[in-house]
């Protein structure tokens, strides 16, 4: 029986897989054209599986010979010096070439000799030799690795002038784009502006999974397990949460298949099962989440940048030359959303938001902000969430604790901390049972909409700064449209008014509870 795989290389014989043949075709075209390029994508984005599929596809074509290397398990000694790197690399490729190894290989202890030995080996090969190297990040800060890239570049340029023989195509895979690495030729020399990999072609293949692609995996699963799910609806729901991030797509499917269905003794999937899988995923630890938090905690500037994107309500322009934007994009934490920055997917946003609010909650333990966060205080007799009570209690907490605070009265607080404070209050209440996420993009009104999902109910809360009656009416109209589209019976509007003319009042209007602070 096949499974959904989230670790290592995916194999179509053992795993349910998305049909990525269209993406593979684009990559193979680059290789056929003799391009050198980098598959630089975030962690667990399918890079290793893609190299595996490249290898399998080219093995069927006898015109090619494939060398597939991973730097993951090479060890530190491999990169210690040219005397260790060069003979080891040559011995490895000689096995692929079926060339008899000899003592002279051990004497290849620098890059000029390695370059010559590669050329001699390739002279004996009739096939087009393609070099695939995975996990290049393991050595991307190593000067020896940069020198190795410099050697490959030099051979490539000379081959263009018929002065050398080299690999037909070279494909590197890693998180970082090594085109941005700078070459340093001698220890006492400053880094050069030119990269040792500036010969590389751009790699513009979209490796995320679109709903139609996710559907190919679900269709395969449905046929083999006789599951009669609504494949388009389930695919759309998976994409809604993951934005096509490959690990997250497979992880949600794995949770539904191996945990939710057995627990409920059911067979067919529904979009609601995907929501339940999201809830379980957000309460677990995995290597992707661990890496995400580690990278944020180890870089306070990046942490602050991501925090502002999630909580401030400010619309940031996407400028890839900005160091923080570029780093967050390389890690896969943000995306370019029509020229504006947004968190890459709702799962990342919720997980980071939970991490930040949990930290603030710990610091405020026992204060009014967290003292009333017992879930049972806000449940109806039916066990459903009384969102009206949640809203009014938050208003009360703000009034009792923060109404005298200078920070609360400042414009900086109004713009930056309203959503953060509300989520610090809300998340302990819904934690483990529900979750929240931002649904609608911010606008000139600096509106922030939060959708709260608790068990089988959905609530939308619009947090806004008062900017006049016209914007207020537009906001109400949008809320009513959302309620109609999502079959929501009641919504909530939390308004902070700089004028302080309607402090701490509330009233209902058009099935919307409007709360002023």
Name the token pair of 334: 């943000």
Whole-structure pTM value: 0.88
Report the pLDDT value the prediction gives residue 446, as an integer from 0 to 100: 43
**pLDDT attached to residue 409:** 55
Give the residues of the chain that fall short of pLDDT 50: 183-187, 189-193, 442-446
Class of the domain covering 21-180: alpha beta
What pLDDT is attached to residue 99? 59
Q: Pairing mode, if any, of strands 457-465 and 448-454?
A: antiparallel
Please tell me the distance from the alpha carbon of residue 420 to that of residue 310, in angstroms, as a whole number. Answer: 9
SS3 194: coil
Residues 6+ apart with CB under 8 A from 325: 305, 316, 318, 319, 334, 341
Radius of gyration of the chain (CA): 28
Rounded to an integer, what distance in angstroms lies between the CA atom of residue 116 and that of residue 155?
Answer: 10
HSE at residue 66, side-chain half, CA atoms within 13 A, is 20
Domain ranges within the chain, ordered by starting residue: 21-180, 211-284, 366-516
At 249 the pLDDT is 98
Please report which helix (H) or strand (E) contains residue 199, including its range: none
CATH architecture, domain defined by 211-284: Orthogonal Bundle (1.10)
Q: Which tens digit of pLDDT belongs to each residue from 96-134?
A: 776 555 555 557 889 999 999 999 889 888 899 999 999
The Cα 73–Cα 139 span in angstroms is: 11
Report the pLDDT value the prediction gives residue 515, as an integer from 0 to 100.
Answer: 93
Half-sphere exposure of 473 (CA within 13 A, CB side): 3
Question: What angle is formed at CA 505 by the lines to CA 503 and CA 506, rounded to 5 degrees?
Answer: 140
Q: Which residues contact 277 (CB under 8 A, 6 or more apart)?
A: 252, 253, 255, 256, 259, 260
pLDDT at 413 (0 to 100)? 54
């Amino acid at each position: 029986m096949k499974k959904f795989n989230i670790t290592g290389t995916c194999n179509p014989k053992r795993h349910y897989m998305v049909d990525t043949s269209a993406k593979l075709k684009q990559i193979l075209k680059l290789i056929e054209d003799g391009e050198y390029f980098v598959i630089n994508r975030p962690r667990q984005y399918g890079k290793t599986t893609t190299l595996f599929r490249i290898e399998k596809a080219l093995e069927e074509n006898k015109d090619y010979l494939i060398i597939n290397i991973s730097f993951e398990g090479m060890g530190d000694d491999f990169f210690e010096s040219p005397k260790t790197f060069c003979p080891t690399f040559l011995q490895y490729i000689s096995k692929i070439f079926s060339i008899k190894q000899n003592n002279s290989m051990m004497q290849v202890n620098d890059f000029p000799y390695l370059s010559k030995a590669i050329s001699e080996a390739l002279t004996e090969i009739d096939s087009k030799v393609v070099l695939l190297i995975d996990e290049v990040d393991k050595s991307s800060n190593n000067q020896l690795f940069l020198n190795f890239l410099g050697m490959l570049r030099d051979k490539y340029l000379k081959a263009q002038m018929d002065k050398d023989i080299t690999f037909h195509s070279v494909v590197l895979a890693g998180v970082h784009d090594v085109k941005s690495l700078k070459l340093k030729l001698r220890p006492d020399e400053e880094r050069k502006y030119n990269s040792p990999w500036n010969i590389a072609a751009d790699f513009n293949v979209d490796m995320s999974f679109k709903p139609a692609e996710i559907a190919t995996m679900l269709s395969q699963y449905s046929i083999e397990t006789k599951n009669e799910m609504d494949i388009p609806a389930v695919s759309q729901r998976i994409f809604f949460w993951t934005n096509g991030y490959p690990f997250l797509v497979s992880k949600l499917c794995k949770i539904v298949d191996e945990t939710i269905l057995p627990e409920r003794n059911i067979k067919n999937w529904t979009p609601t099962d995907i929501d339940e899988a999201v809830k379980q995923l957000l309460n677990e630890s995995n290597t992707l989440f661990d890496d995400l938090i580690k990278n944020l905690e180890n870089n306070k500037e990046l942490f602050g940048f991501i925090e502002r994107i999630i909580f401030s309500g400010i619309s940031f322009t996407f400028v890839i030359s900005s160091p923080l934007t570029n780093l967050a994009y390389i890690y896969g934490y943000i995306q370019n959303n029509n020229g504006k920055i947004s968190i890459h997917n709702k799962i990342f946003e919720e997980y980071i938001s939970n991490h930040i609010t949990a930290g603030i909650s710990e610091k405020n333990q026992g204060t009014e902000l967290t003292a009333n966060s017992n879930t049972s205080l806000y449940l109806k007799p039916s066990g459903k969430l009384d969102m009206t009570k949640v809203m009014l209690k938050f208003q009360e907490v703000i009034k009792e604790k923060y109404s005298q605070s200078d920070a609360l009265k400042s414009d900086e607080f109004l713009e930056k901390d309203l959503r953060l404070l509300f989520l610090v209050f809300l998340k302990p209440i819904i934690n483990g049972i529900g979750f929240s996420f931002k649904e609608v993009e911010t606008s000139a009104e600096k509106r922030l909409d939060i959708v709260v999902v608790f068990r089988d109910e959905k609530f939308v809360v619009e947090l806004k700064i008062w900017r006049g009656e016209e914007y207020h009416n537009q906001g109400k109209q949008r809320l009513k449209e959302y309620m109609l589209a999502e079959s929501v019976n009641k919504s909530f509007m939390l308004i902070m008014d700089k004028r302080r003319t309607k402090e701490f009042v509330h009233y209902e209007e058009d099935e919307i509870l409007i709360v002023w602070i």
